[in-house]
Chain A
Amino acid sequence: MPPRLAFLGALLLSALLAGPAPLFAKAAEPASHAAAPAPLQALKAASVVRVNATSQPYDFLRPWSKRPPFQRRGVGAVLPGGRVLITAEQVANATYLELEKPDSGEKSPATLETVDYECNLALLKPADPSFLAPFKPLALNEAAPGDTLAIWQLEANGTVLNTRALLTTAEVGDYPIGDIDLLLYRLTASLQPREGGLTFPVIKAGGLAGMLLRFDARSQTADAIPAPVIRHFLQAADAKSGYVGFPHAGIHTASLRDPQLRRYAGLTNGTGGLYIRYVHPGGPADKAGIQKGDVLLAIGKNAIDQDGNYADPHYGKISVQHLLSCASFDGTQVLFKIARQGKEISLPVVLRYQDPSQSLIEPYTIDRAPRYYILGGLVFQELSRQFLKEWGSEWTRKAPERFLYYDAHQEELFQNDPRSRIVILSNVLPSPCTVGYEELNCLVVTQINGVALKSLADIEAALAKPLDGFHHITFQGHPGEIVIDAAQATALEPALLRNYNLPSLKRL
């Protein structure tokens, strides 16, 4: 499970859907679709609503400001309890959310009840509790490979455009935002471009089988977030103790097909087992005593093959990752049956959710303003992947190479690092304080006034102790150290705010 650095290059539907959709004279149920599994009643859009989101992400290169707002539309699934399910991407960085009835166009503002960007799901609630009263909530309906499902888009007239989709494969794969791998439904479908954005419900026999995640128009394939992931999300959302995300075991694994590796790992017979190549220090597996080089033979009663698959009663051979993340919850204990140099032992592992915001370099920063501090024109920030993504669609090649390397290999490079964040000098707003420093950018800051920075939160305490009236900023490597006149920097604050039209010189 290496960190997924790039979004899949799938063409998102929104790209096809500029402007209002043309009017279609007929409802969305041509005769040829008679075999589609959804009942006719559902096609009157009795179970889906439009979700209109206005989003405004922060600009991580200018962390004091937000980017221009933009609108996204999607189709949400009405669930029991007066809630609407939508993908989390759809509502990321939302400043305003509203629900819209497909027939009447009647709208209600909505609030975000629960969101999990790792599994890419969100629950919305209308401000007016009676808004969803006329709808018939969808129940979850798990599908299996071979099933014919229906993808529900919305026509401009409010009826459902029902497209058949063949569920070809259920497998564990990468999700667009976090670093987690979860079950996916892979579909073959030929979607028409329609107004309605990124997200559509996937239906099996009138029940909700999944939410569309991505669609590739060239290959006519789509991925959907499947019912088991949705079920896990809903159960966690209903937990009395509050929402906790999908758990991890804290291991990275490798296939054991190679007979030379099998013998090295002490396996003398059989064909199964998964090589544990990395154990996250302090993670669930580490706490349970699992070691690098152990061979994972089974989890509970589920034997694991050389590629890391087990035989799921519903989906057949799928990755053991499903057992450890989707089929378990934070705090679930599972029994790892392992082989350690030929000896079999069983160790109970308590799976735990690992908060991605606790990473040294956050994999995503959504709905949250980036921290920054401006000293005399020097802009300090914390290194995050969101910052690197400001380099655009080719950010994995174009962003500063040192930062990319740190992000991609942070577990390996920063194992015993005392920092909780890497403080960087992102750029310089030239001012009388920064003469000669104008071209400094994207440098790792290690200390200010001799105080090691564990995160940007330490900066004010460090700046409280200037040395002989000067702030000394120490970088990792060249140029070593630069100096700012403390009194001059303070005196310049009003001018900086005015000159660069900044709302504030810090956000900590």
Chain B
Amino acid sequence: MRRSVWILFVLAVSCLPARAISIAEVRKSLVHITTTAQDPNYRVPWNPGPINSGAGTGFILSGQRILTNAHVVSNARFISVERENDPKHYIAKVRHIGHDCDLAVLEVSDPQFFEGTAALSLTNQIPQIESSVSVYGYPIGGNRLSVTTGVVSRIAFQQYSHSMADSHLAIQTNAAINPGNSGGPVLQEGKVIGVAFQGFSGDVAQNVGYMIPVSVIQRFLKDIEDGHYDRYMDLSITTFPLLNPAQRKALGLENDGRGVLVGSVISGGACDGVLKPGDVILSLDGHPVQSDGFVELDGERVEMPEIVERKFKGDSVAVHILRAKDPKDVTIRFNAAWPFQIQASHYDIRPRYLLFGGLLFQPVSRDFLQGNPIDSLRVRFLYHFYISDEVFKDRPDLIVLSDVLPDPVNTYLGGFRGAIVDTINGEKIKTLDAMAAALAKPADQYVIKMMGEGRPIVMERAAVEAARERIQARYNVRNTQNLSE
């Protein structure tokens, strides 16, 4: 069953009798954000994409920073911000953006903007279930403040639908959160407990809105302190709960409800060479790991990855494991965020592509697949199993022949749409850069082998060169390649 999670452009400010600050105070920190964005065109990658505009909410933090959701300002070409009680529009810029946690910090160069504003402060507590919250923002396109209230319904890991590839803690509330609320503060007793960011539109669910908790916000703000966002760290393993008594006994575990099995270790990930499939993780940084994969943290029972969620580039985690019944202590160091991100949505980048003899080659990614009607089992399989089957080892870029711009040079090649590049003149092609280099090497003909048992594509250099300008002119292609994002 797939749940559909939608992103909100919403902000809410609530005034409850018990609140610690007045609505007038909250108004001083709220920001209405209007973004003109240009989304890339993955179908015709040399074309500028469509321009659209959207609105969301933000709020002022100390240091003249405006916090909002990444999705409010993604792919932005122009951002303007307004305050309550000030008719002027100010130009804002993205100073930092974290697409994996859907947060962004904006700056406004005009100092007049911050006159008379007040910064909101973040709580440093996880809110209690059933405690009441107020959501402030500018939902459904309005530019007058809207407030809704509700309670904290649940705190759990949740997929962040901005990147579609990341899960972090999220707080669920029954306060109405609607498009436009995105980026707005959720307050409890005058302090920010979260940033409203997405809702849930299932067939059966009602009154389900989500906010990004302070733990995620604090992590983002800390990560960017050095001026650069390094993203979340990741163990890059799969784990399996150890609930089966026989399995526990065979692994030499007590019947104490502790430990999860390492099911697989992804090559090149943080645990590669440190953990092995079959190891049992007993604790992380001294926190006992329960056999269903939960740990206790700050008095809350949370999913084990939450410990890693709080790590930064360069940090490490101490892991107590049982390997072949022997207890061992190992350290996992986080040197970099996981690099192979084709399954995530990306923003603020230009599509990479290469056009050769009218054949359009593009790396497969979530964004690419959303823009291209490619229905190939091979592409689907390699995309979905890109990490678990370690497809990235051989093919960091999964290069697909996405389209054929008909021309005499390629007139018999239409059937190759959707095929994946394997070799060029015998050389294994791992990246789009390598492909461009292989096609730039002098040769009379380029023999492009696609994955599978099909016949090769043969492109004679003279014919490709003769066709280049003709194809560019006929199809209005500005550049025949873009190799960098």
Q: Is the CB of B261 within 8 A of A412?
A: no
Q: Is the CB of B455 within 8 A of A480?
A: no
Known: A402-B381, A480-B264. A485 touches B246 (CB 8 A): yes
* Chain B residues proximal to chain A, CB less than 8 Å: 238, 240-247, 249-251, 261-264, 277-278, 377-378, 380-381, 384-385, 388-389, 411-413, 445, 447, 452-456, 458-460, 463
What chain B residues lie within 8 Å of A411 (beta carbons)? 453
What chain A residues lie within 8 Å of B247 (beta carbons)? 436, 482-483
What chain B residues lie within 8 Å of A481 (beta carbons)? 277-278
Q: Is the CB of A433 within 8 A of B246?
A: yes
A interface residues, tally (CB under 8 Å): 40
CB distance from B449 to the nearest CB of A (A): 10
* Chain A residues proximal to chain B, CB less than 8 Å: 252, 254-255, 257-258, 260-261, 263-264, 275, 277-278, 396, 401-402, 404-405, 408-409, 411-412, 433-437, 467-468, 470, 472, 477-485, 488
Minimum CB distance partner of B244 in chain A = A436
What chain B residues lie within 8 Å of A488 (beta carbons)? 246
Minimum CB distance partner of B264 in chain A = A478
What chain B residues lie within 8 Å of A472 (beta carbons)? 250
Bound-complex Cα distance A485 to B247 (A): 8
Q: Is the CB of B241 within 8 A of A264?
A: no
Known: A260-B460, A263-B460, A435-B244. A478 touches B238 (CB 8 A): yes
Q: Is the CB of A264 within 8 A of B250?
A: no
What chain A residues lie within 8 Å of B243 (beta carbons)? 435-436
CB distance from A341 to the nearest CB of B (A): 14
Main secondary structure of the interface of A (DSSP, over half): mixed
CB distance from B466 to the nearest CB of A (A): 13
Bound-complex Cα distance A355 to B388 (A): 34
Bound-complex Cα distance A168 to B452 (A): 35
Main secondary structure of the interface of B (DSSP, over half): mixed
What chain A residues lie within 8 Å of B452 (beta carbons)? 409, 412
Q: Is the CB of A264 within 8 A of B445?
A: yes
CB distance from A397 to the nearest CB of B (A): 9
Bound-complex Cα distance A418 to B208 (A): 52
What chain A residues lie within 8 Å of B380 (beta carbons)? 401
CB distance from A429 to the nearest CB of B (A): 15
CB distance from B321 to the nearest CB of A (A): 14
Contact of B377 among A404, A437, A479 (CB under 8 A): A404
CB distance from B421 to the nearest CB of A (A): 16
The 10 A-B residue pairs whose C-beta atoms are closest, nearest first, are A436-B243, A258-B412, A479-B240, A485-B246, A479-B263, A254-B455, A478-B263, A405-B381, A278-B453, A436-B244
CB distance from A276 to the nearest CB of B (A): 9
CB distance from B454 to the nearest CB of A (A): 6
Known: A258-B413, A477-B389, A481-B278. A277 touches B244 (CB 8 A): no
Bound-complex Cα distance A478 to B412 (A): 42
What chain B residues lie within 8 Å of A257 (beta carbons)? 412
What are some 28 contacts across the A-B interface (CB < 8 A)? A258-B413, A261-B458, A263-B445, A263-B458, A263-B460, A401-B380, A408-B377, A436-B241, A436-B242, A436-B243, A437-B244, A467-B250, A470-B249, A472-B250, A477-B388, A478-B264, A479-B238, A479-B261, A480-B262, A480-B264, A480-B277, A480-B278, A481-B277, A482-B240, A482-B247, A483-B249, A485-B249, A488-B246
What chain A residues lie within 8 Å of B388 (beta carbons)? 477-478
B249, B263, B413, B453: which has the most chain A beta carbons within 10 Å? B453
Minimum CB distance partner of A435 in chain B = B244
Bound-complex Cα distance A485 to B249 (A): 9
Bound-complex Cα distance A467 to B325 (A): 15
Known: A261-B412, A277-B454, A405-B381. A480 touches B261 (CB 8 A): yes
What chain B residues lie within 8 Å of A258 (beta carbons)? 411-413, 458
Q: Is the CB of A434 within 8 A of B244?
A: yes
Known: A264-B445, A480-B262. A252 touches B453 (CB 8 A): yes
Q: Is the CB of B245 within 8 A of A435?
A: yes
Kindly list 20 other residue pairs between chains A and B, CB separation below 8 angstroms, not including A436-B241, A482-B247: A254-B455, A257-B412, A258-B411, A260-B458, A261-B412, A261-B455, A263-B460, A278-B453, A401-B377, A405-B378, A409-B378, A411-B453, A412-B453, A436-B244, A436-B247, A470-B249, A477-B264, A479-B238, A480-B262, A483-B244
Known: A260-B463, A436-B243, A479-B240. A275 touches B455 (CB 8 A): yes
A254, A408, A467, A480: which has the most chain B beta carbons within 10 Å? A480
What chain A residues lie within 8 Å of B381 (beta carbons)? 401-402, 404-405
CB distance from A79 to the nearest CB of B (A): 40
CB distance from A476 to the nearest CB of B (A): 9
Bound-complex Cα distance A154 to B251 (A): 69
Contact of B246 among A275, A402, A408, A470 (CB under 8 A): A470
Bound-complex Cα distance A401 to B238 (A): 19
What chain A residues lie within 8 Å of B240 (beta carbons)? 478-480, 482
